[in-house]
């Protein structure tokens, strides 16, 4: 009986994998799906807090050091975080300094309260396919990097989100599990 059942299970599993391949779906282990879902929840929480201008709560979702990618809104000279190289180089900034700059410089809420829910619901949280190592993507607005792209270094287990409306400008957030919690380690705010 076992000899008959095992080939049937193997055939069913290979059929399922082939069906997923034809449908364009990736096969993931249950733990990996659960991990990605918790990263999506952390990303949604982070973006919601940003749009609400709740910068105190963002302290819970930022790593101690955050890489701000070239062209990031907060690297403009008026915010005084990067000097003159905000469109050319990524900089690493301390969480406390970044949040202080946000509190002083950005409106509270960032998006007016009367349209906040509508804007947030229009945002798509797309998980970008990445591999460990260098990842490059074209930003929504030109940046003065050698190849005109944004570059991130992806570590094992990182999740990279592209957040924004279906068309137009977008935000990028690189999340990493640190001490059991998802934290932003790099971002691009446009």
Task: Note down the domain range covering 140.
Answer: 40-188
Q: Do the domain assignments include residue 27?
A: no
Task: Please state the domain count of the chain.
Answer: 1
Q: Please state whether beta strands 150-154 and 133-137 pair in parallel, antiparallel, or not at all (unpaired).
A: antiparallel
Q: Do the domain assignments include residue 61?
A: yes
- The confidence score (pLDDT) of residue 60 equals 94
Q: Do the domain assignments include residue 33?
A: no
CATH number, domain of 153, equals 3.10.450
Sign of CA dihedral 182, 184, 188, 190: positive
Q: Do the domain assignments include residue 48?
A: yes
Count of C-beta atoms within a 10 Å radius of residue 184: 24
- The confidence score (pLDDT) of residue 76 equals 82
Burial of 128: CB neighbours in 10 Å, binned 0-12, 13-18, 19+: middle
Residue 7, pLDDT above cutoff 90: no
Q: Do the domain assignments include residue 157?
A: yes
Q: Do the domain assignments include residue 71?
A: yes
Which pTM was predicted?
0.79
Q: Using omega within 30 degrees of 0 as the cis cutoff, is the peptide bond preceding 135 cis?
A: no
Q: Do the domain assignments include residue 29?
A: no
Q: Do the domain assignments include residue 174?
A: yes
Give the model confidence (pLDDT) of 31-75 as tens digits. Answer: 455 566 899 999 999 999 999 999 999 999 999 999 999 988 888
Whole-number mean pLDDT of the chain? Answer: 82
| 136 φ, ψ (degrees, to nearest 5) | -125, 145
CB-based contact 175:161 (threshold 8 Å) = yes
């Amino acid at each position: 009986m076992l000899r008959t059942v095992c080939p049937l299970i193997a055939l069913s599993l290979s059929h399922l994998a082939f069906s997923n391949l034809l449908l364009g779906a990736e096969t993931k282990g249950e733990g990996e799906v659960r991990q990605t879902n918790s990263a999506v929840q952390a990303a949604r929480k982070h973006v919601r807090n940003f749009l609400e201008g709740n910068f105190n709560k963002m302290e819970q979702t930022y790593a101690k050091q955050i890489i701000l990618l070239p062209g990031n809104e907060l690297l403009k000279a008026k915010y005084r975080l990067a000097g003159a190289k905000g469109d050319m180089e990524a900089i690493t900034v301390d969480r406390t300094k970044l949040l202080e700059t946000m509190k002083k410089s950005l409106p509270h809420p960032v998006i007016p309260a009367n349209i906040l829910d509508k804007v947030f619901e229009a945002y798509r949280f797309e998980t970008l396919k990445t591999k460990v190592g260098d990842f490059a993507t074209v930003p929504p607005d030109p940046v003065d990097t050698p190849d005109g792209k944004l570059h991130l270094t992806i570590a094992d287990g990182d999740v990279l989100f592209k957040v924004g409306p279906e068309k137009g400008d977008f935000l990028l957030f690189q999340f990493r599990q640190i001490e059991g919690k998802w934290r932003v380690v790099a971002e691009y705010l446009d």
